[in-house]
Structure 1
């Protein structure tokens, strides 16, 4: 009868577990939907589009640009925000986890009309 090396058994078990975990992560990454891209422009003193419609659980990928001055994009109900700098595209992913009407806004002072620069995310069940 051959003696079994407990260290070798442990290494084999760990290698098998690691392979299973990595395979699962790879499958999840491949299966994860990329999300719906929402192209948005932050202009003085409006977001275009000003209203975005989505379904609960739908992954949104906001791609934001600001052609004039630095802006901010904040969706406080989902704890999401990013800076939007002229000449650079900003990307922000949001997955609404509840239905309702939510306000997004510019949170970087951008001039006289800043306080009214907002929009609406409408999430349906």
Structure 2
């Protein structure tokens, strides 16, 4: 495929998906990546600080068991598997402090496995 044809394809894909996707495709925008590690009965970090309107990708992994990551105020959820990386993209649209939690039972102590997303 020629470079011009490839460029037109990327432009068309970007136009269909929105300008944010187009900027990322050309390397003009880069989302912040925050690594979050889960282990029985803890998330590290337990407080995630974000800026309103600024996209971020959470890279989630577990050190021991299959866990869940649920941030209902942002409409995101993922299974977090040992040795694997799950990615969640968030664009915070409101300021405040919001809870995230494990939603897969992982043993006694599971009910306290939570943290906060603080958006300023």
Structure 2-normalised TM-score? 0.80
Give the Å deviation of 1:60: 1.2
**Aligned partner (choices 82, 85, 90) of residue 89 of structure 1:** 85
User: Which aligned pairs between 1:1-125 and structure 2 lie closer than 5 A?
Assistant: 22=12, 25=15, 28=19, 29-32=21-24, 33-124=29-120
- Indicate if the aligned counterparts of 2:42 and 2:113 stay in contact, CA closer than 8 A: yes
How many residues align? The count is 106
Distance 1:68 1:24 in 2: 39
In structure 1, the gaps of 5 or more residues are: 1-17
In structure 2, the gaps of 5 or more residues are: 1-7
* Residue-by-residue CA offset, 1:5-47 (whole Å, 9 max, x unaligned): xxxxxxxxxxxxx99x728628933424331101010011010
Rg larger in 1 or in 2? 1
Distance 2:86 2:13 in 1: 31
